[in-house]
Amino acid sequence: MKQYEVKTFSIPKVDGISEKAMEIHLGLYAGYVKNLNAHYTALRSLCEKGPGDPTVLSAVTRRIGFELAGVLNHECFFSALENGPSACTEGSPLHAQVIKQFGSFDGFVNGVKKTAEVMRGIGWVLVVHDKEKETLHIVWVSDHELGNVNLPVVLAVDMWEHAYLLDYVPAEKGSYVDAYLQAVNWKTVEDTFVAR
């Protein structure tokens, strides 16, 4: 099996999110990649030896789901910041879907923001795309692996405390969400929407 590799992202300075917070966050993402690879190595070893203790196999496979979703969600989170902010292209497939469902792009962004603001505890706000039903869903999930509802993630807003606590207290997390959403390169999100 090919090992997962830590991706690098071309992220300019984000107004409202310190460079130190971004550096720590990228380091945590790298930890997910490292842990995922370690769990796959452990799984291979367990499979080669035979099933053995089923609780050990169960623990390893459960962690793989957590680590893998952590890697993928973080990659979506960081890639949306690459190359600086840009507006969603009017008339693009993503823009058309947003207008159809939410009435306006601002209404959609406000839905993402308000979902993040009312969350209690840790988690993610994910925008997932159901191509078959031609629907975007804004969903809140606690642990990484529990929330993609088996639909492709188009946008991921990290609401785990490590994403904002260096810059904001929990009562100010709305300011962090504002900073993130204002820094999003919506052209990248458009590409993700079309590809997935």
Could you tell me the CA-to-CA distances from 139 to 14, 100, 129 in Å, in that order? 25, 18, 11
Q: What is the mean pLDDT of residues 67-84?
A: 96
Q: What is the pLDDT of residues 9-39, one digit of tens each?
A: 999 999 999 999 999 999 999 999 999 999 9
pLDDT at 110 over 80: yes
The CATH label, of 3.30.2320.20, 3.90.1150.10, 1.10.10.10, 3.55.40.20, for the domain at 18-196 is 3.55.40.20
pLDDT score recorded for residue 51: 64
H/E element, 125 = strand 124-130
Helices (H), the chain: 19-49, 54-79, 93-102, 105-118, 173-183, 186-195
Mean pLDDT score, 38-56: 84
29: helix, strand or coil: helix
Side chain identity, residue 169:
V
Q: CA 115, 121, 124, 129 torsion: positive or negative?
A: negative
- Please state the φ and ψ torsions of residue 158, each to the nearest 5 degrees: -75, 120
Q: State how far the Cα of 118 lies from the Cα of 181, in Å rounded to an integer.
A: 16
- What pLDDT, on the 0 to 100 scale, is given for residue 98? 98
Query: 147: pLDDT confidence band, cut at 50, 70 and 90?
Result: low
Q: How confident is the model at residue 128 (pLDDT cuts 50, 70, 90)?
A: very high
Q: What is the mean pLDDT of residues 82-92?
A: 97
